[in-house]
Amino acid sequence: MSATVQTLEAMERPPVSMGSRLEGELLEVSMGPQHPSTHGVFRMNVALDGEIVRKLKPVFGYLHRNHEKIGENTSYLGSMPYTDRLDYFCSMTNNWAYALSVEKLAGIQVPERAEYLRIILAELTRLQNHASLLGFLLNDMGAWGTPLMYAFREREKILDLFESLSGSRMMCDYMRFGGCRVDASDDWLVGAKKIVDRFPKFLDEFEELILGNEIVIGRTQNVGKVSAELAINAGVTGPMLRACGVNYDLRKVDGYGYYPHFKFRIPLGEHGDTYDRLMMRALEMRESVSILQQAFAQIQPGPVLNPKVKIRAFRPPIGEAYGRIEGPKGELGFYLISDGGPNPYRYRVRPPSFINLTILEDMCLGHTVADVMVILGSVDIVMGEVDR
């Protein structure tokens, strides 16, 4: 912790009526990038009045790896393994979003079985992302370890599925333009169905563990409220937006992939506080389980890769494309401009957690430092994606 002088003059004095113990004097504290609950190398400069946050400035870039410039200097296929490293919790959805935008750019058709496999993998990713997010959020609240270990136990089973299909637990690099790299065997589908069928049991237990807990309710309800207007204006997407009661889910709005063939509901919140955001994840996991069960029932044998797509020397026609999907964290989009060469002329990522993070100050003002950690946890950020 460090107190600095020169920026204090620049800060507004808090209203006297707020009951400040320091009588209007603000203390600037730098939280992070080594703080244990900042979810990676994230830093916030907070101006504190006693324990109340009066100003908050996020500082990021500690994990900047120049992802977009690397994407402009490698081939289209060469960027695929790099997208795994954006949001390393959900590499499957990152792969899908990138493959989708290249397929839009080059007008590539995807076989039916590949679309089903993509939906299965994306929903499995959503399950493991939301489960581990809830674990981390409780970790931030002080439930050290126990809920996180239960969540990770379930996540581990899904990661084993990813490993046996794609060869790697987290850096899957599984999707290709025009389909998926390898086909899933029948054994794999049976094993995945078994794990998905058992997942609601874990959800029941997990909800019993946390959702009725008085401490969780006390720490989350009416904490970090976001109004629907602010969320829409800031471009917030994903479970954070739906927690404010805005019905916006790209799986319904865009209907990409084979999602229009599936029946599922979009859970909506009401208050936009941390409790709603937490509930949103729990409810979305239930819907994901139902999507997965429909997919296992509907999937048919067939090819998984469009044979017309060249692996080497892939050159899409001149043009631009923006492909977006509903990732577990929100709208994940890739914008590509092609000049006909083997590399994209411009490669841009629209990362959901970075844009969701922009309203952090609005959520945190007036709350205590301990609440800031809970609010940050409920935004669901991964620094690999925020800094890129």
Partner 1 sequence: MIGSGILKGMAVTARNFVGSYFEKDRLITVQYPEERNPLPENYRNFPFLIYDGDDPHAGLRCVACKICEKECPPQCIYIVKSDDKKPDYMGKPQLYPKVFDIDISVCMSCQICVEVCPFEAIKMDKEFELSKRERFNHLLQRKEELSKSNDYYHKICPTDAAEVDAKLAEAAAKKKPAPAPSAPTPVSAAVS
Residues 80-139 close enough to bind partner 1 by CB under 8 A? 80-82
Instruction: Give min distance, CB of 314 to partner 1, in A.
Output: 10
In the complex with partner 1, which residue's Cβ is closer, 216 or 289? 216
Report in angstroms how near the CB of residue 288 gets to partner 1 at its nearest.
Answer: 20
Nearer to partner 1, 170 or 228 (CB): 170
Strand order in the sheet with 43-49: 27-31, 43-49, 52-59
Q: Which is nearer to partner 1, 91 or 237 (CB)?
A: 91
Q: Give DSSP secondary structure letters for 341-379.
A: SSSEEEEEEE-HHHHHHTTHHHHHTTSBHHHHHHHHHHH
Q: How far is the CB of 170 from partner 1 (least distance, A)?
A: 11
Query: Looking at 4, 7, 66, 146, which residue binds partner 1 (CB under 8 A)?
Result: 146
Q: Which is nearer to partner 1, 172 or 292 (CB)?
A: 172
Q: What letter does residue 207 receive in the DSSP assignment?
A: H
Q: Shortest distance, CB of residue 155 to partner 1, whole angstroms?
A: 11
Interface pick for partner 1 out of 89, 136, 150, 199 (rule CB under 8 A): 150
Name the phi and psi angles at 135, rounded to 5. Answer: -60, -45
Instruction: Decide whether 20 or 74 has the Cβ nearer to partner 1.
Output: 74
Contacts to partner 1 from residues 157-196, by CB under 8 A: 160, 163-168, 171, 173, 181-182
DSSP letter, residue 142: T
Cα gap 31→45, rounded to integer Å: 6
| Backbone angle region of 71, left / alpha / beta, with phi > 0 → left and psi within -120 to 50 → alpha | alpha
Q: How many CB atoms lie within 10 A of CB 35?
A: 16
Spatial CB neighbours of 153, under 8 Å, sequence gap ≥ 6: none
> For partner 1, what does the binding mask look like between residues 220 and 259, x meaning CB under 8 A?
----------------------------------------
Q: Which residues 25-84 are close enough to bind partner 1 by CB under 8 A?
A: 74-75, 77-82
In the chain, the DSSP E strands lie at 27-31, 43-49, 52-59, 175-176, 179-180, 319-326, 331-338, 344-350
Taking CB under 8 A as the criterion, which residues in 286-345 touch partner 1? 311-312
The C-alpha angle with vertex 295 and arms to 243 and 188, in degrees rounded to 5, equals: 115
What's the min distance (Å) between Cβ of 245 and partner 1?
25
Contact footprint for partner 1 (CB under 8 A): 74-75, 77-82, 146, 150, 153, 156, 160, 163-168, 171, 173, 181-182, 198, 205, 208-210, 212-217, 311-312
